[in-house]
Amino acid sequence: MLIRYGYEITINCNQPTALVCLLSVREERAGDLRVPESVLTTPPIPTSTYLDLFGNRCRRMVAPVGDLTIWGDATIEDSGEVDQADWSAREVAVADLPDETLVYLMGSRYCETDRLSQAAWDMFGHIAPGWGRVQAVCDFVNGHIRFDYQQARSTRTAFEAFNERVGVCRDFAHLGVALCRCLNIPARYVNGHLGDIGVPVVDPMDFSAWMEVYLDGKWHTFDPRNNKPRIGRIVLAHGRDAADIPLINSFGPHLLKTFRVWTYVVNEVPAG
């Protein structure tokens, strides 16, 4: 299966403003690209890329005064299979976890493990460790939070989402991540593309957030927002929470003027 994905974002700055954008596919999927990522800016400005401490591809630039449009597009080959479930996957004892996973047990800006720990153990401590316990977390979050674009708030934390019971995909992911960490299960926050492949079209296309959980020696995909296997996830970045991987990190004020995202199946590689 071939999936074409991309974005067009226009911002306005009242002074030259440094930006770091996390809008490129992660290196693990670079070999699946059938049309490499093209990134254009209007007006044309210099950009450069680097890998951050989580291995995400970051693009640096300085936005000029006025409007700046950033446009990106690529085509990737995907298996076409739904997210895989492994109900036999076991939790790994903290003492046996790889060093690099330990950071995903800690509290972070949007995932306050200290404030949710007791609730997590009260709700899920009796469930057998492993895949089933993580799925129980996702089932709870999916039923506990009401999805509402109009109630989006960039500063909402997992604890606030737990109490307010409303939010968008990032809030579902943050709460799921925080509850898993409270249960001593490493969990990380993910940004990416997720088109309406194999499901009814219900929402405007947007970037999506979900989580990855470390079980039985590998990272597995879980999605508290949709809470069902999906096709064609394209990971752009992962980190401790949304503070680590904003789509656009602006070192100065800016106004978002337009925002468009696309993710859809194509039958052949688009002509260059």
Residue 270, pLDDT above cutoff 90: no
CB 72 within 8 A of CB 23: yes
pLDDT at 205: 78
Average pLDDT for 150-165: 96
Average pLDDT of every residue of the chain:
96
pLDDT at 123: 98
What's the rounded Cα separation, in Å, for the pair 78 and 183? Answer: 33
Average pLDDT for 112-137: 98
Could you tell me the residue ranges of all domains in the chain?
2-80+247-266, 94-239
* Burial per residue of 214-231, b for 16 or more beta-carbon CB atoms within 10 angstroms, e otherwise: bbeeebbbbbbbbbeebb
What's the rounded Cα separation, in Å, for the pair 108 and 33? Answer: 33
pLDDT at 272: 59
What's the rounded Cα separation, in Å, for the pair 142 and 110? Answer: 18
> Which class in CATH covers the domain with range 94-239?
alpha beta
Average pLDDT for 202-230: 92
Residue 93, pLDDT above cutoff 70: yes
pLDDT at 269: 77
Topology classification of domain 2-80+247-266: Immunoglobulin-like (2.60.40)
Q: pLDDT band for position 198 (50/70/90)?
A: confident
The token pair at 107 is 């509290």
Average pLDDT for 51-71: 98
Residue 201, pLDDT above cutoff 90: no
Average pLDDT for 199-216: 87
Of the ranges 74-78, 151-155, 212-216, which one carries the lowest mean pLDDT score? 151-155
> 220-223 contacts: CB < 8 A, separation 24 or more?
220/84, 220/86, 220/89, 220/131, 220/134, 221/83, 221/84, 221/190, 222/134, 222/135, 222/138, 222/176, 223/83, 223/138
pLDDT at 203: 67
pLDDT at 206: 84
Residue 128, pLDDT above cutoff 70: yes
